[in-house]
Structure 1
Amino acid sequence: MADQYAQSGEDMSTGIPAIRWDEPPEGPVVVLLDQTRLPGEEVELVCTDAPALVEAIRSLAVRGAPLLGIAGAYGVALAAARGFDVDEAAVALAGARPTAVNLSVGVRRARSAYDAALARGAVGEQAAEAALAAARQLHREDAEASVRMAGHGLALLDELLPGGGHRILTHCNTGYLVSGGEGTAFAVALAAHRAGRLRRLWVDETRPLLQGARLTAYEAARNGMAYTLLTDNAAGSLFAAGEVDAVLIGADRVAADGSVANKIGSYPLAVLARYHHVPFIVVAPVTTVDAQTPEGADIEVEQRPGYEVTEIAAPSMPVTGAGGGIPVAPLGTQAYNPAFDVTPPELVTAIVTEEGVVSPVTAEALAEVCGRSRGATVG
Structure 2
Amino acid sequence: MVAKNQRVEAQGSESPLTIQYIEGTGWRTGVLVDASPGTEVAPALMPTHGEYPIYDTALYDAMMADAERNWRFREALEKHARDRIVLDIGTGPELFWAREGLRSGARQVFAMEAMESSFRTASQTLAGLADGHRATLLHGESTALEIEPKAEVCVAEILGSLPGAEGAAAVFADAKRRLLTPDAVIVPDLCLTQAAAVNFTDLFAGRAPAFSDAALPQLQRLFEWNGGPFDVRLRVVNPARQAVISDSAPVERLEFNGDLQVEQDADVRLTMTRPGTVDGVLTWLVMRCLPDQEPLDAMRGKTNWASIYLPLFDNGIPVEAGDVMNLTFRTVLSEDGIHPEYDLTGELHTATGVHRARHFSPYRSNAAHRHPVYRSLFPE
TM range (shorter): 0.3 to 0.5
Please, what TM-score do these two structures have when normalized by structure 1?
0.37
More helix per residue: 1 or 2? 1
Q: Considering only CA atoms, is the larger Rg found in Structure 1 or Structure 2? A: 2
Please, what TM-score do these two structures have when normalized by structure 2?
0.37
Higher relative contact order (CA 8 A, sep 6+): 2
